[in-house]
Amino acid sequence: MAMKKTGRKELGIHTIVEFYGCDKSIIQDSALVEQAFRKASEISGATIVKTTFHHFNPHGISGVVVIAESHFSVHTWPEYGYAAIDFFSCSKDVDVDRAIEYLEEVLKPKHVSRLDLKRGILL
């Protein structure tokens, strides 16, 4: 993603993505979701440091892929077919668009919402 020159320097970009209408069985499978987020991180060019994913009873997953450049995270609500996804990167070399495209292929949302925020804007 190209960043507009504003005369200010930001420390990173925080991309908030919402997936609606996901396949419920997919976003309930913690092993599959973790594998998808690891692969999305690799595809983006990020450097994986560590992953941790937790399956809630009766349903839902929270997980994070800690990357050298910051983190990718997810929380799912299978009962609603919804996944809340965050990407934060302090590197312009991490291609979040590629990660999102891959996750769309795997999690199969019917609708995607996205918001990009500049973080740590230094005046």
Annotation marks residue 71 as catalytic:
no
Q: Which of 70, 71, 73, 89 is catalytic?
A: 70
Q: Which of 90, 91, 111, 113 is catalytic?
A: 90
Annotation marks residue 90 as catalytic:
yes
DSSP letter (8 states) at residue 11:
S
Q: Which of 75, 89, 91, 113 is catalytic?
A: 75
How far lies 103's CA from each of 2, 86, 107, in Å?
A: 21, 12, 6
Interatomic CA distance for residues 41 and 72, integer angstroms: 7
Annotation marks residue 22 as catalytic:
no
What amino acid positions are annotated as catalytic residues? 70, 75, 90
